[in-house]
C-alpha cells in the first residue's frame, strides 16, 4: 500500500493518464479491502466485549443480538477470505457473459432469457455495471443468444466457475396441456482482456461478416449493416456485436470478445491437461451440465459439481447466486491445492 501511495503522490504520475488511472484504481481497491478487514476486526472486538458485559448484567437480549452480529461477521469474513484468493491472471477483470438457448424452441429461448436476467440481477446487486453487446431474440419469446459485459472488480473471478450447461425442469407456460418440460441453455464466461495479457490473433485466421442489427440498441439499429460477426477459423469460435453505433466500434468490441474467448479456451485446455496428468475425471468446463433448476414437481436448485443446493428457487432466479458462486470457487481452489 505504501508503494501505491508513493506512486499516487508522484507529480509526474498523470503524464501517462492511462497508467495513472490503473494505479489509482488499484490503490482504491486495496484501500477498500484493508478498510473492510479493519471494520470486521473492530466489530468482532466490540461485540465480544459487549457479550461479556451483557452476561455480567444478565441482559440475555443483548447477548442474542451480539451473537447474531457475530454470526453475520463469520459469513462475511468467509466470503472475504474466498475473495482474497482470487489471484488468477484475469480474476480481477471485467467479464463477458454469453447465454445460448439449447434445443427446445420457445421453451429453451425463454429459459435463456431467465438465465440472462438472473445474472444481470446478480451483477446489479453487487454494484457492477452491465452493457448489452449482442442479442438475438427468439421467434415467439425469450432469446436465442445474448452477450453482456459485466464491469466491476473481480467480476470474472467470481463468475468463471459458471461455464457450462444449465438445466431447467418446469411446467411450461407455453404448453396448453400444462406438461412438464426440460430445457437447456449454456453459459460461457470469459475475461475482458487488458494490455497485461497478450493474445495474438492473425488476420488470415478470421472471417468477418457484417449484417443488419436487430433488437434493442437505439436509433442506429436496423438502419445499416453495422453489426459484425467474427469467426476464428482454427477454433471455430464465433462472436458478434451489434449494439455499438458504428461498424468500426462493433468490430473492435467483437475482436475484444474473440480474444477473451481464445484466452478462456486456452485456460480450459490447461486445466484439462492438468486434470489428465493427475488421472482425474471432471465435468467442469464448457459443454457439461453444471446446475439443475427443478421447479416442478418440487423446487430444488442443485450444483452437480459441488453438491450445493437450495429450495429458494425464486431468490436464485432473481440473482441470489452467492451460494453457488462461492461453492464453485471453493471447490475449484480446493482442487488446486
- Please check whether residue 107 is in contact with residue 172, taking contact to mean a CB–CB distance below 8 angstroms: yes
What pLDDT does 268 receive?
A: 81
Average pLDDT of the segment spanning 84-100? 87
Please report the DSSP string for 156-217 in residue order. HHHHGGG-EEEEEEEE-TT-TT--EEEEEEEEEEEEPP-TTS-----GGGEEEEEE---SSS
Of 177, 185, 168, residue with least CA distance to 299: 168
- Please check whether residue 214 is in contact with residue 221, taking contact to mean a CB–CB distance below 8 angstroms: yes
What pLDDT does 336 receive?
A: 56
Least confident of 23-32, 175-184, 299-308: 23-32
Of 172, 196, 169, 197, residue with least CA distance to 184: 169
Confidence of residue 226 (pLDDT cuts 50, 70, 90): confident
DSSP state for residue 303 in the 8-state scheme: E
What pLDDT does 15 receive?
A: 72
* pTM for the model: 0.74
Other beta carbons within 10 Å of 265: 16
Angle between helices 60-84 and 322-336 (to 10 degrees): 50
Domains and CATH numbers, the chain: 2-84 (1.20.58.410), 90-337 (3.30.70.1660)
Tell me: pLDDT of 218 over 60.
no
Cell of 307: 453438491
Q: What is the chain's mean pLDDT, rounded?
A: 84
Please report the DSSP string for 234-263 in residue order. TTTEEEEE--SSSHHHHHHHHHHHHHHHHH
Cell of 82: 474466498
Least confident of 140-144, 222-226, 265-269: 222-226
| Cα 105 versus chain centre, distance | 26
Tell me: pLDDT of 288 over 90.
no
> How far is it, in rounded angstroms, from Cα 187 to Cα 18?
32
> How far is it, in rounded angstroms, from Cα 100 to Cα 185?
6
Least confident of 73-77, 167-171, 227-231, 301-305: 73-77
**Which residues have CB under 8 Å from 245's CB, separation 6+?**
218, 220, 226
Task: Determine the Cα angle at 209 with ends 215 and 257, to 5°.
Answer: 70
Confidence of residue 110 (pLDDT cuts 50, 70, 90): very high
Average pLDDT of the segment spanning 61-77? 88
With residues binned 3-state (H G I as helix, E B as strand, rest as coil), the percentages for the chain, rounded to 5, are 45, 20, 30
Amino acid at each position: 500500500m505504501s508503494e501505491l501511495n508513493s506512486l499516487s503522490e508522484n507529480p509526474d504520475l498523470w503524464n501517462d493518464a492511462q497508467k495513472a488511472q490503473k494505479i489509482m484504481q488499484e490503490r482504491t481497491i486495496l484501500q477498500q479491502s484493508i478498510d473492510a478487514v479493519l471494520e470486521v476486526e473492530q466489530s468482532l472486538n466490540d461485540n465480544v466485549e459487549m457479550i461479556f458485559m451483557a452476561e455480567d448484567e444478565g441482559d440475555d437480549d443483548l447477548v442474542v443480538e451480539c451473537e447474531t452480529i457475530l454470526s453475520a461477521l463469520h459469513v462475511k469474513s468467509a466470503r472475504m477470505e474466498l475473495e482474497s484468493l482470487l489471484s488468477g491472471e484475469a480474476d480481477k477483470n471485467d467479464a463477458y457473459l454469453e447465454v445460448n438457448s439449447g434445443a427446445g424452441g420457445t421453451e429453451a429461448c425463454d429459459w435463456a432469457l431467465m438465465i440472462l436476467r438472473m445474472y444481470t440481477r446478480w451483477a446489479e446487486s453487487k454494484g457492477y455495471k452491465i452493457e448489452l453487446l449482442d442479442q438475438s431474440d427468439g421467434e415467439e419469446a425469450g432469446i436465442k443468444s445474448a452477450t453482456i459485459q459485466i464491469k466491476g472488480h473481480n467480476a470474472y473471478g467470481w463468475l468463471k466457475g459458471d461455464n457450462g450447461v444449465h438445466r431447467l425442469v418446469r411446467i411450461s407456460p407455453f404448453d396448453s396441456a400444462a406438461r412438464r418440460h426440460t430445457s437447456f441453455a449454456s453459459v460461457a464466461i470469459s475475461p475482458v482482456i487488458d494490455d497485461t495479457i497478450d493474445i495474438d490473433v492473425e488476420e488470415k485466421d478470421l472471417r468477418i461478416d457484417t449484417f443488419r442489427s436487430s433488437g434493442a440498441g437505439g436509433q442506429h439499429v436496423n438502419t445499416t449493416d453495422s453489426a459484425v460477426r467474427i469467426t476464428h477459423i482454427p477454433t471455430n469460435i464465433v462472436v458478434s456485436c451489434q449494439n455499438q453505433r458504428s461498424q468500426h466500434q462493433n468490430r473492435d468490441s467483437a475482436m475484444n470478445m474473440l480474444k477473451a474467448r481464445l484466452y478462456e479456451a486456452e485456460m480450459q485446455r490447461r486445466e484439462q491437461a492438468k486434470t489428465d496428468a493427475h488421472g482425474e475425471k471432471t465435468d467442469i468446463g464448457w459443454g457439461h451440465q453444471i446446475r439443475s433448476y427443478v421447479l416442478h414437481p418440487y423446487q430444488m436448485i442443485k450444483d452437480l459439481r459441488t453438491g450445493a443446493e437450495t429450495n429458494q428457487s425464486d431468490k436464485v432466479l432473481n440473482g441470489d447466486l452467492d451460494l453457488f458462486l462461492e461453492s464453485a470457487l471453493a471447490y475449484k481452489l480446493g482442487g488446486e491445492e
